[in-house]
Amino acid sequence: MFLLAGRRPLLAFSTRALLVVLLGLALGYAASVDQWYRAYLGAATLVANGLFIAFAAIDYVAWQKRRAEERL
């Protein structure tokens, strides 16, 4: 919940939305045992996970820059 609704969020809104989508895909994958679309959900989850990591890294760097500017 810290990443989604913190008082001073580290992640941008778009990254938080992507995290919600990623969690939904992961839950869908976990619940789709023996279904024909499980492989598609698995691939979509991997892609969303890669995007989330990239977006989170970008947000973290931007957050660090903002903190450095506030200290000056």
d(CA 44, CA 26): 9
Residue 24 lies in a domain: yes
| Domain ranges, residue 19 | 12-71
H/E run at residue 10: none
Q: Is residue 6 part of a domain?
A: no
Q: Which pLDDT score is estimated for 33?
A: 94
pLDDT in tens, 3-39: 667 666 777 888 889 999 999 999 999 999 999 999 9
Q: Is residue 4 part of a domain?
A: no
User: Residue range 51-56: average pLDDT?
Assistant: 94
Asked if residue 5 belongs to a domain, the reply is no
Can you give the pLDDT at residue 25? 96
Count of domains forming the chain: 1
Domain membership of residue 7 (yes or no) is no
Q: What is the pLDDT of residue 71?
A: 85
